[in-house]
Amino acid sequence: MFDWHTSKVVYQIFPDRFNIGDGKTAKQKENEGLYPLPGQRTVDWKEKPKRTGDRTQQLLFWGGDLKGITEKIDYIKSLGAEIIYLTPIFYAHTNHKYDTIDFFRIDPAFGTLQDFKELCETAHQKDLKIILDGVFNHVGFASKWFNGLNLFPEKGAYQSPNSPYRDYFYFSGDKYRSWVNSGSLPELNLDNPELQEILFTGKNSVVKYWLKQGADGWRIDCAHDIGNLNHIIVEAAKSVKPDALIIGEVWNYPKGWNEFARLDGIMNYHFRSLVIDLLKADMPVETVAKIMKDTVEDCGIDYLSKCWNMLSSHDVPRLSNLFDNERDIRLAIALQFSFPGVPMIYYGEELEMTGGEDPENRDAMRWENLSNSPERLNFYKKLTEIRKKKIALQIGSFGILYTSQPDRTIVFKRSTERIDDLLLIAFNLSFEKVQFKTYINESTLMTGTLFRDLFTGETFRTDVSNITLQVEPRSFRILEPIIERVPDRYTPYKRV
């Protein structure tokens, strides 16, 4: 089933690190009083984020904001990306903003409500969508409901058992439950009807309010923690915007989250793990091919096609730190764009940025790398162009094909009911050039049909139902059939 977002490519942005609007510096913004909370301070754009050991790195700011993103809409569009996923933008203490203070307020360091509306309007004019990060499992220690830093005159749950917000949280005496026992992120009691009304179900709930302001959907943080309550979020969102996209952060096997939680899709970290095991030879090639096949059959192609194919994000290392060379990075990206699912590019990957574990993976955007014409940038552009043109990569069925070199190669097809849409995707995981034969189970694929490599232009001819391919070491091919139907020339495809 076609869904508006299955044809798109997602571009994830960590707002503080992407771009500063109006030509300002972080220091200028600090002098304007935009970083007033305890411990907050700015650093130079070129400074590298590092772990401090006491979490104070979370209070360092590089100055990126919503205006800065709006100014770069054309750049994002030029990549072929059409969905912008923003990590949290609401008022919070840290630079990552997963510690919400006020759900109804844009963080002043990021801008104003008007800045957000202008971002949405500009994006929509360019046919781009905006997806917000909904952090509903927990809030920040400084939240107005918890008030751990005494920022608000009204007593919060942390200060008094008589606080009107006490039942928004889980308390046992003076002890409270926090996400992964961090202490800084008290978990919300989402079973509380009053809290559900504020966040989800009310006429002007958080979920509904920001969709009305121009957002096109939500990525639900910690959706695995929220569990079957996700369906309340989905129903609330679609009640005001029926085509709103709701994606869950789930670090599990994908199956079922579209059913019991009603999510449109999840961030597919299962896919990421599989790709890493394949390219690092931690799992036999044949086994990975079988897991791919089983995953698609088990989860269902329609649902899996709506999940986001992950390789890197603000939570995991960047590609340059994950793999040893650009050749393997290309293999990973090619898998990301050809396996069922919506590819998600983490900002800066196209500019070959580096970064290990958090916070190193949240470096400021290296715009100067554009002057070096990074090869990966053009590689992404080529793949987004192919994906946009090829319906089989968006919603097509998936099938693993048998090969004569199953220990070194993976070949699968993406197809629709039209033979013209058929694509063969072949990967050579060995360190030698490989020639191998693969059989194609397509009854209307005529013998003698030429297949063209969409990157190199090379052609290969079928013989009955098989084709012999050559693939360079640690490389891949994306092949399309050359099918012509012209009145004055013979073609076996005249009636198919």
Please say if the pLDDT value at position 49 is more than 60: yes
Q: Which residues contact 404 (CB under 8 A, 6 or more apart)?
A: 436, 437, 438
Q: Note the pLDDT tens digit of each residue in 270-312.
A: 999 999 999 999 999 999 999 999 999 999 999 999 999 999 9
pLDDT (0 to 100) of residue 29: 98
Closest among 236, 241, 232 to 214, alpha carbons compared:
241
Please say if the pLDDT value at position 439 is more than 70: yes
State what percent of residues in the chain have pLDDT above 70.
100
Q: Note the pLDDT tens digit of each residue in 96-107.
A: 999 999 999 999
Hunting for tokens 């495809």 — which residue is that?
A: 493
Residues designated as active site: 221, 249
Q: What rounded mean pLDDT belongs to the chain?
A: 97
Please say if the pLDDT value at position 1 is more than 50: no
Q: Note the pLDDT tens digit of each residue in 118-128.
A: 999 999 999 99
Domain-wise residue ranges, the chain: 10-393, 396-481
Q: Note the pLDDT tens digit of each residue in 173-219.
A: 999 999 999 999 999 999 999 999 999 999 999 999 999 999 999 99
Q: Note the pLDDT tens digit of each residue in 399-414.
A: 999 999 999 999 999 9
Q: How many helices (H) and strands (E) does the chain have?
A: 15, 22
Q: Note the pLDDT tens digit of each residue in 441-458.
A: 999 999 999 999 999 999
Go through 1-38 and write b for each residue having 16 or more CB atoms within 10 A of its CB, e for each that does not: eebebbbbbbbbbbbbbbbbbeebebeebbeeebbebe
Q: Note the pLDDT tens digit of each residue in 344-378.
A: 999 999 999 999 999 999 999 999 999 999 999 99
Contacts of range 371-380, beta carbons closer than 8 Å, 24 or more positions apart? 374/350, 375/326, 376/326, 376/329, 376/330, 376/333, 376/349, 376/350, 376/351, 376/352, 377/79, 377/350, 377/351, 377/352, 379/330, 379/333, 380/79, 380/80, 380/333, 380/345, 380/349, 380/350
The whole-angstrom separation of Cα 480 and Cα 425 is 9
Please say if the pLDDT value at position 318 is more than 60: yes
Write the single-letter amino acid at 28: Q
- Which residues, in sequence order, are bridge partners of residue 435? 470
Q: Which residues contact 84 (CB under 8 A, 6 or more apart)?
A: 10, 11, 13, 69, 76, 123, 128, 129, 130, 131
The whole-angstrom separation of Cα 40 and Cα 142 is 13
pLDDT (0 to 100) of residue 267: 98
Residue 331, SS3?
Answer: helix
**Cis (ω within 30 of 0) for the bond into 49?**
no
Nearest 5°: CA angle at 97, between 243 and 169?
A: 85
pLDDT (0 to 100) of residue 3: 81
What's the CATH code, domain 396-481? 2.60.40.1180
Pick among 3.10.129.10, 3.90.1010.10, 3.60.150.10, 3.20.20.80: CATH of 10-393? 3.20.20.80
Q: Average pLDDT in the 38-51 region? A: 97
